[in-house]
């Protein structure tokens, strides 16, 4: 079974940029949402894949990923995905023993910067860099699926935080 153990945080400031080792543009869209799971197509650099992810609000979620040809990904993104696409620049930032994925959203989600950390265990300790803000792992509005249907630019000012 595919399992993802991930924590998600808001990012404060730009201090993380100096430590970013790489950057890659990601484009993704959603083919389906059953309420229990979402089906996503994602393109990053010269790779593409389909992902099926459970829609639970938890650190540990089911996730299955399958590589697909780039031409298929492009066709699905252009013709089959519902709602707007989510586009972001992913920066890899190493802090201690962990590699953080800092996602800087583009388009209708511009202004949102989120750091994600994949862990081997839900209780695994990790170093909290100074630029790490509030944890939003359990807040569905920060899930990419929701950002595709209700982008950050449409949120009222009072929702642009963790509350």
Which token pair is 38?
């979402």
Residues 84, 30 contacting (CB under 8 angstroms): no
| DSSP H or E run through 54 | strand 47-54
Residues annotated as part of the active site? 30
Q: Report the b/e string of 21-44 with b at 16+ CB within 10 A.
A: eeeeebbbbbeebeeebbbbbbbe
């Amino acid at each position: 079974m595919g399992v993802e153990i991930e924590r998600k945080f808001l990012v404060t400031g730009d201090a993380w940029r100096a430590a970013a080792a790489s950057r890659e543009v990601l484009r993704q869209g959603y083919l389906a949402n059953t309420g229990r799971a979402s089906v996503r197509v994602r393109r990053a650099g010269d790779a593409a894949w389909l992902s099926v992810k459970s829609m639970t609000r938890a650190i540990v979620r089911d996730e299955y990923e399958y590589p697909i040809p780039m031409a298929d990904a492009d066709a699905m993104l252009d013709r089959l995905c519902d709602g707007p696409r989510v586009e972001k620049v992913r920066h890899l930032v190493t802090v201690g023993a962990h590699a953080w994925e800092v996602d800087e959203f583009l388009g209708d989600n511009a202004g949102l910067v989120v750091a994600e950390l994949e862990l081997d265990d839900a209780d695994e300790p990790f170093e909290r860099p100074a630029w790490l803000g509030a944890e939003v792992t359990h807040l569905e509005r920060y899930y990419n699926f929701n950002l595709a249907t209700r982008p950050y630019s449409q949120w009222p000012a009072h929702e642009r935080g963790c509350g």
